[in-house]
Structures are given as C-alpha cells and as structure tokens.
C-alpha cells in the first residue's frame, strides 16, 4: 500500500457521512442512494438554476461566485446605465484577470485560504494536470486537496477521488472504494459519478438499478444518461415507458435552466453552450 493510500484512509475516517471502514464495505442504503439530490445552486444574478454542463457556468475567483453562461456573456452596465467596456466580473465588478495571469493564481490561492471548496477543488485539478510551471504534476497534492474540498461538501471532489481509485493514477486500484466515493458524489448531486454507477450496474447485468441511476442523472441534466437509456430501449433492455420517462425528466430539467439570455450566449459562442 502506498503512503498516499494510507493518508487517504485516515482522512476518510474524518469525513462526515463517510462510512468507509477498514474492510471497505459500503453501508449506504438504497433509500439514501436513490434519492434525487438537490439541484445545483441558482445563479446569483438571474436566479435561475445553474446548468449542469460545464460550459453553462463559470466560477469567479474574485468573489467565489458561480455565474451562469447567460450572465457571463451579457454586457455589464455602470450606475449611469452605460455599458462597461473593460471586462469585469458581472457579480462583484472586479476587473477580470488575463488568462494565465499571475493575478488569477493569486486570487485562486486567496480563495483557497478562505476555505472555498471550489477553489480548493480547482487547485487540486491544477496539480493533477500539472498544466503550468506554478503547478508541477503532483498526484498526492491533488488528492489531498480533493479530500479537503470533499470535506467541505464539494461533490465533484468525491468523484475525482472515486476516479483515482477506479483507474489507479494516484493510489492503488480499489474498485470498492471507487464505488463508495462515486456513491458519495452521486448522492451530493454529481451526475458523472451517478452515470458511472449506472454504467457499473449495467455491466453487471443489473439493468433495473442501472436505470434508476441513469434516470437521476437525466433529471440532473446529464444528456449522456438520456442517450444511454435510448440505446437500452433500442436494444430491448429498457421499455418504451422508461425512455418516455427519461425524456420527460430531461424536459423538466431544461424547463428549469432555459432562458433567452443563455440561448443568446450559446448562439454567440460554443464556450457558452449550456445543454
Ligand atoms: Zn445568470
Ligand atoms: Zn466577482
């Protein structure tokens, strides 16, 4: 067992709601597991649900807010109603740092010091990918930061830890632990983890359980799960009712996130696509 693995186990003991014990037996009940998790928070500007698709929102290191694509794209006006040409955060009006700017890194680190889970998670990703000189690739550091963010209830951090155990980049492969962390992430609303759980059940031949996971992911806005249910239907593994239900769930999701402002942004740039 590697040192990082040991570190992970001791950290896990401190996690609220983490029921992983030394034998890696999971004790999450189906009732807990298959509950539809609460949606992502609303955009603090337009008050609509934040889209699930990554390009549907942007995290701001200035104020720590996640702003939807529509509000990110919309022009910003000053108090006199004049359009502000200089790029500013639409929420706190702080001038935006340039890409790969020192200022951007400084702001991210400041948010990390403030215990902001998204900033901690993003810093973890920087170490995971090792994309700049400031962040040489360091899997142990990445895992440590993802644990820290997960403790602050950042769902996607649990998914990253699950993935680490799933493929063994940062730790030794442990499929039971991988599943456990995917479950924690899924229960907190992470749709990728939810889809992964569905995929595992499908591969094990448990189509009923797979469908339950996929349906929750669809309602959470994960189009890939809808596509998977369609394939299961075409292959005769899911019923027409299943597929109809999935389509309805996805429409419900779209009803919560669609707005003319977001449509306008998406039409202007692929980087603002939100579903
Ligand atoms: Zn918005
Ligand atoms: Zn801001």
pLDDT digits (tens, 9 = 90+) for 87-127: 889 999 898 887 667 888 999 999 999 999 999 999 999 99
Residue 199: CA atoms inside 13 Å, Cβ hemisphere, count? 13
Q: Is 59 exposed, middle or buried (0-12, 13-18, 19+ CB in 10 A)?
A: middle
Q: How far apart are CA 226 and CA 22, in angstroms?
A: 36
- pTM, entire model: 0.86
Question: 66: CA distance to ligand 1 center in Å?
Answer: 9
Measured in angstroms, how far is the CA atom of residue 59 from the centroid of ligand 2? Answer: 9
* pLDDT at 240 (0 to 100): 98
What DSSP string describes 132-143? BTTB---HHHHH
DSSP 42: B
| Domains, in order of start, for the chain | 3-272 (1.25.40.10)
127 CA to middle of ligand 2, Å? 24
Q: How far is CA 154 from CA 81, 115, 119, 185, 227, in A?
A: 37, 12, 10, 8, 27
Backbone angles phi, psi at 136, to 5 degrees: -60, 145
The Å distance, Cα 264 to ligand 2 centre, comes to 22
pLDDT band at 26 (very low <50, low <70, confident <90, very high): low
Would you state the pLDDT for residue 127? Answer: 93
What CA–CA distance (Å, rounded) separates 142 from 115? 16
For the chain, helix, strand, coil in percent to 5 are 55, 5, 40
Taking the centre of ligand 2 as the mean of its atom positions, its distance from the CA of residue 241, in whole angstroms, is 45
Consecutive H or E run containing 57: strand 57-59
Distance 66 CA to ligand 2 centre (A): 9
CA distance 215 to 209: 10
Name the more confident of 5 and 95: 95
225-247 per-position pLDDT tens digit: 999 999 999 999 999 999 999 99
Q: How far is the CA of 43 from the centre of ligand 1 (A)?
A: 5
What mean pLDDT is predicted for residues 217-230? 98
DSSP symbol at 54: G
- Looking at all shown ligands, the one closest to residue 94's CA atom is 2
């Amino acid at each position: 067992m590697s040192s990082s693995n040991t570190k992970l186990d001791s950290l896990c003991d401190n996690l609220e709601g983490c029921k992983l014990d030394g034998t890696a037996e999971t004790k999450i009940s189906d009732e807990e597991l298959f509950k539809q998790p609460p949606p992502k928070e609303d955009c603090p500007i337009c008050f609509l649900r934040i889209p699930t698709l990554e390009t549907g929102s942007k995290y701001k290191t200035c104020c720590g807010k996640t702003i939807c694509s529509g509000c990110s794209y919309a022009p910003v006006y000053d108090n006199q109603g004049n359009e502000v040409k200089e790029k500013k955060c639409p929420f706190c009006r702080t001038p935006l740092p340039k890409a790969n700017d020192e200022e951007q890194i400084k702001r991210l680190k400041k948010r990390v010091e403030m215990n902001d889970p998204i900033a901690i998670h993003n810093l973890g990703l920087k170490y995971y990918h090792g994309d700049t000189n400031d962040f040489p690739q360091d899997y142990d550091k990445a895992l440590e930061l993802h644990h820290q963010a997960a403790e602050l209830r950042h769902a996607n951090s649990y998914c990253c830890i699950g993935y680490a155990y799933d493929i063994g980049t940062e730790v030794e492969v442990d499929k039971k632990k991988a599943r456990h962390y995917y479950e924690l992430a899924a229960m907190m609303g992470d749709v990728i983890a939810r889809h992964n759980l569905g995929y595992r059940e499908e591969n094990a031949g448990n189509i009923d359980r797979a469908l339950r996971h996929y349906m929750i992911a669809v309602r959470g806005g994960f189009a890939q799960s809808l596509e998977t249910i369609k394939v299961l239907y075409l292959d005769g593994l899911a019923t027409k009712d299943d597929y109809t239900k999935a389509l309805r769930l996805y429409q419900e999701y779209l009803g919560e996130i669609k707005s003319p402002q977001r449509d306008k942004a998406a039409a202007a740039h692929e980087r603002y696509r939100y579903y």
